[in-house]
Amino acid sequence: MQKRNIIFSVCLILIVTFISYHSSIKNDFVNWDDNLYITGTNKIRELSLKSIVNFFTSYDIVLYNPLVSLSFAIEYKFFKLNPHAYHLTNLILHLINCLLVFWLIVLLSKKASVSFIVALLFGIHPLHVESVAWISERKDVLYALFYLGSIISYIYYLKGETLHFIQGDSKKQNDGGKKYYYYSIFLFLLSLLSKSMAVTLPFVLILTDYLNNKKINKNTLKEKIPFFILSIVFGIITVFGNQSLKNANESQVFVFSKSILNVSDQITFYIIKTIIPVKLSCIYPYLNKIGNLRFFDRIGSEFSGIFLFSPIILIFLTVLIFISVKYTKKIIFGSLIFLITLLPVINIIPIGWNIPADRYTYIPLLGIFYIIGEIFSYFYTKYNKIIKILLCSILIAIIIVFSYLTQQRCQVWKDSITLWNDVIKNYPNSIAIAHYDRGKVYQERGVYNKALSDYEQAIKIDPNCYEAYYNRGITYQTISKYDEALLDYDQAIKINPNYKQAFNNRGVVYYNKKDYKKAIFDYNQAIKIDKNYSEAYNNRGTVYQAIRNYIRALSDYEQAIRIDKYYVEAYNNRGNIYQINKEYDRAISDYEQAVKINPNYLNAYNNLAVIYYNKKEYARTVLNYSRIIAISQDNVQAYYNRAIAYYQNKEYDRAVKDIIKLQELGYKIPDDFEKILERYGKLR
């Protein structure tokens, strides 16, 4: 292989892949896990030894991927919540993975043409968009980085031959071989710390031995013992983390966890999507019962018959693969790479969510791409010029189509609305989560009629969708329809008696209705479900504060802060208690901590201004009202209060300017204050 050809191939792969994905850099966060892993969590907002230890000693939601959390924390340290930085990181990791794929296939096939095809297909295939354009799926691009690196290191170990340290045979001992063996183990560990799907690597290494004509015997398997030990350990960690998720979703997700039909359906699904990547979606319809052909809509009605006969199709393909062994190892190698790396997510080895998802194909597709690359190379070298031109034309057409589809798919991930619009367009009246997650976006934007419409559609699709009832309850609560909100929270709790958020929000409604006894009961229930539920402690504190039980209120606010040291509202509320108790220095400290965490938190600035006004420190009063105005430029109450502070500080000209601004905003100035300023002849 000429160095010039390799450099040209690599550059072309990187350029085409970057062009296909470049629009993803401009995308926003989405409310499909990004809110859980990045925008809505305080876990990544501190980068310290303590936080790093926490990453490695706790689950993130229900998953154990500490390196992913660490990467987010590093980005937050430098870029805060700038989504473009996170998207750029994902794309850079994907480009590096393309290089590693090229390198790996060069080592396996020793053909630049095969490496080029495999790496380019890996780079631009539309099924990989989810892993790259979705920030939360940093897991895929990161685990793949170390996974591929581990295989490459292992191949270098094979080339260095040998490492028989377990057996004590050192007659062919090679220190270089040892080095790459240990590199491989270390990189495998990093891959496991990024995503549990890496547990399949020991089997892939055995396949690598097979392809490299290394005898599969007792000694070969002994070399894999460290890899298998790591796989077992991380497999156990993953199963424990996913246990609660599995229990909560058993009826929806795992109905056919032992069904041959479901397994064959999923394998066929991935094969068809690889060849014909249409109607892609961030989530696909569930399987509900045998005979319910709704799952055929995953690809389109024109292909639905394929899934009905998926077991037969797979048996036929399996026979062909085994027949091919007589002629070449390459087809069975690629096929087993595809199948083995899919095992954790096709219900044979149930780990986490096991419904089909594009992201699960990030590494498995290498098997199919390898077969395609080898077949292309075989026909290209065997046949005449016309066939070569035809093959190149087909390859170029595939590259153009896939690159275009990938660019289009990146635009789907632009924001939450475009994401859920795409799901609903491809699978109308099929996926409840698409409607209630889009409804949440409309709710946040204040478009309550559209939010309610989406929640109602979600409930129509799935009458047991407690999240839809809960979110509709929030919308009713926001527009002060408390009775309707209570009905929805009641229904959510009826469906899921352990739904702590519904108890908490129902408590808020009772608080707003001044039914404090029921509010406290609901907050107690939420805390009973989750003793570390900081929001319930904070909200219970507001009830105790309302009934003037300040000791209990203070205790609850302190507990909320102990659980979540970034809880802005809890600091503000505790500051209010200190202010009531005339402990002004403590109150000021809490308010300042609140605005330190959230510089746009207006309530704390207002409370600081009130304290300083009562202390007759008018300059500081003005400063805090000015901060409110800088954030909310039409905040008439802040202008009015600042005018009073200016007046008390004898800055009459500035007081008048604020009054004039209030008049421009249509605010009615109290007569007494207007007359006072008129005495100084300053009011126009």
User: For residue 208, how far is the Cα from the chain centroid?
Assistant: 32
Q: Tell me the C-alpha to C-alpha distance, in Å, between residue 90 and each of 25, 130, 284, 500.
A: 9, 11, 23, 34
**Packing angle between helix 83-109 and helix 138-160, nearest 10 degrees?**
30
User: For residue 275, how far is the Cα from the chain centroid?
Assistant: 27
How far apart are alpha carbons 680 and 460 in whole angstroms?
66
| Torsion region of 563: left, alpha or beta (phi above 0 gives left; psi -120 to 50 gives alpha) | alpha
Superfamily of domain 602-684: Tetratricopeptide repeat domain (1.25.40.10)
How far apart are alpha carbons 370 and 336 in whole angstroms?
11
How far apart are alpha carbons 277 and 124 in whole angstroms?
12
SS (H, E, C) 561-596: HHHCCCCHHHHHHHHHHHHHCCCHHHHHHHHHHHHH
DSSP 287: P
Cis peptide before 162 (omega within 30 of 0): yes
Contact of 51 with 58, CB cutoff 8 Å: no
Collapsing DSSP states into helix, strand and coil, what is residue 595? helix
Q: Tell me the C-alpha to C-alpha distance, in Å, between residue 72 and each of 128, 131, 138, 146.
A: 21, 15, 9, 17
Burial 497-512 (b: 16+ CB within 10 A, else e): eebbbbbbbbbbbbbe
Q: Which residues pair with 164 in a beta bridge?
A: 169
Vertex 462 angle, CA 461 and 467, to 5°? 120
How far apart are alpha carbons 229 and 408 in whole angstroms?
42
Q: What confidence score (pLDDT) does residue 667 get? A: 84
DSSP 35: I
Q: What confidence score (pLDDT) does residue 165 get? A: 35
> Alpha helix (H) ranges present in 276-303?
none
Low-confidence spans in the chain with pLDDT less than 70: 1, 161-176, 242-260, 286-308, 347-354, 675-684
- What's the predicted TM-score (pTM) here? 0.87
Picking from 605, 594, 531, 595, the residue whose alpha carbon sits closest to that of residue 565 is 594
Amino acid identity, residue 56? F
Architecture of domain 526-598: Alpha Horseshoe (1.25)
Contact of 63 with 352, CB cutoff 8 Å: yes
**Packing angle between helix 602-614 and helix 636-648, nearest 10 degrees?**
20
Report the helix count and the strand count for the chain, using DSSP H and E: 34, 0
Domain boundaries, the chain: 3-410, 526-598, 602-684
Contact of 204 with 366, CB cutoff 8 Å: no
How far apart are alpha carbons 276 and 404 in whole angstroms?
13
How far apart are alpha carbons 453 and 450 in whole angstroms?
5
Contact of 462 with 482, CB cutoff 8 Å: no
Contact of 406 with 125, CB cutoff 8 Å: yes
Q: What confidence score (pLDDT) does residue 652 get? A: 87
How far apart are alpha carbons 177 and 57 in whole angstroms?
33
